[in-house]
């Protein structure tokens, strides 16, 4: 195990194993100074405790930056859900949930992640109580992912950043990588505000029309024909071509490290808003910042999901969720960009400073300092 420990954490590393049913899982509770560690359960065959620890630390900063009474945590189950029956998957999830019973909800609150959704959270809640996780079915008090909380947050982060940069929202040209839940809602909200969605990509390619795309038509095409490239009213390019298009706003919302050493110099957008987690290495963000490209970091822009989780945790309504996501994302995006400008550091450095200051203050309060 190669988990790094420092003054922030992690506080606990839990390894769960049951060879009889093929369960191997990890939970890393990074920091609970501000509240119980919050983070989802991912189920992928090659997940490692080191990966989970890194994600738990990212959740510490994301929750602190969002101003939530949560710490950071994450868990993972090393299994391939596509290679097992639904019953087997649920059996493994129930066993994992049972193994964490002594830690939830006081030290850890679970949630959905890669290959886990409301069905898995229903099992987790059934085993450990309704307050042990978020992302539950609506019938169990959950706030469905289909409401679009993350996309709603990315939208507000984008328009806040545009206004900060003194760029008009109406008519601003936007390219979006990925057209799943987050990309779809981001496109829909931005389009309604007058921004022009000119390019969208998925795994099959990019559809590009400089005059703008009809987002509602695009959503229908994606649903019925499984790819945006069948839109019919634009030019079909490679998926990777999206990043080099001349647009005002680029929103990477799918793959990690999609923007990298090989393609960052081709970027012509003035503003990048990170809807995906880690869509580029930190050093690439720094290089883009030095080239006068403003990058709103992932743990600022895409925090709508975890804010929605908090509203579910306090048994709030969808209306309360939308209001809280809007207020927090707008406030924090502006706060980060203001500090970046004032301190002459990249937005990520500014955001990390703010998150660490908040956690440090909470740690001092806990220690009576």
Catalytic residue set: 74
Phi-psi sector, 205: left (phi>0), alpha (psi -120 to 50), beta: left
Is residue 273 within 8 A of residue 154, CB to CB? The reply is yes
260 vs 245: CA distance, rounded Å? 16
Q: What angle do CA 68, 188, 164 make, to 5 degrees?
A: 60
78 contact partners, CB below 8 Å, separation of at least 6: 24, 25, 26, 44, 45, 46, 47, 48
Size (the chain), residues: 369
Is residue 184 within 8 A of residue 197, CB to CB? The reply is no
Tell whether the torsion through CA atoms of 237, 240, 246 and 247 is positive or negative. Answer: positive
Q: Based on C-alpha coordinates, what's the Rg of the chain?
A: 20
Spell out a b/e string for 296-305, using b for 16 or more CB atoms within 10 Å of the CB, else e: bbbbbbbbbb
295 vs 239: CA distance, rounded Å? 21
List the one residue out of 303, 309, 304, 306 whose CA is nearest residue 141: 309
Helix (H, G, I), strand (E, B) or coil at 275: coil
């Amino acid at each position: 195990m190669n988990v790094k420990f420092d003054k922030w954490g992690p506080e606990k590393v839990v390894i769960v194993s049951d060879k009889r049913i093929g369960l191997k899982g990890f939970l890393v509770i990074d920091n609970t100074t501000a509240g119980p560690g919050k983070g989802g359960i991912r189920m992928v065959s090659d997940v490692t405790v080191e990966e989970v620890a890194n994600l738990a630390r990212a959740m510490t900063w994301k929750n602190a930056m969002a101003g939530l009474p949560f710490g950071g945590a994450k868990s993972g189950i090393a299994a391939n859900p596509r290679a097992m029956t639904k019953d087997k998957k649920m059996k493994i999830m129930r066993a994992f949930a049972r193994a964490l019973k002594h830690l939830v909800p006081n030290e850890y609150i679970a949630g959905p992640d890669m290959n886990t959704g409301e069905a898995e959270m229903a099992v987790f809640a059934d085993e450990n109580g309704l307050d042990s996780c978020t992302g539950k079915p609506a019938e169990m008090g959950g706030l469905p992912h289909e409401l679009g909380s993350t996309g709603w947050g990315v939208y507000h982060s984008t328009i806040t950043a545009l206004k900060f940069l003194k760029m008009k929202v109406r008519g601003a040209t936007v390219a979006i990588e990925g057209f799943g839940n987050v990309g779809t809602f981001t496109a829909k909200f931005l389009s309604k505000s007058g921004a022009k969605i000119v390019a969208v990509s998925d795994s099959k390619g990019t559809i590009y029309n400089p005059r703008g795309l009809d987002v509602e038509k695009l959503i229908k095409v994606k649903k019925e024909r499984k790819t945006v490239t069948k839109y019919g009213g634009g030019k079909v390019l490679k998926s990777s071509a999206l990043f080099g298009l001349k647009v005002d706003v680029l929103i990477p919302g799918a793959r990690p490290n999609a923007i990298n050493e090989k393609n960052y110099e081709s970027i012509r957008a003035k503003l990048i808003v990170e809807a995906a987690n880690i869509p580029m290495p930190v050093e690439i963000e720094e290089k883009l910042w030095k080239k006068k490209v403003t990058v709103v970091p992932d743990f600022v822009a895409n925090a709508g999901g975890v804010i929605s989780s908090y509203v579910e945790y306090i048994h709030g309504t969808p209306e309360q969720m939308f209001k809280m996501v809007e207020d927090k994302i707008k406030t924090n995006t502006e706060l980060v960009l203001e500090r970046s400008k004032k301190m002459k550091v990249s937005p990520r450095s500014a955001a990390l400073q703010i998150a660490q200051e908040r956690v440090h203050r909470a740690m001092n309060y806990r220690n009576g300092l």
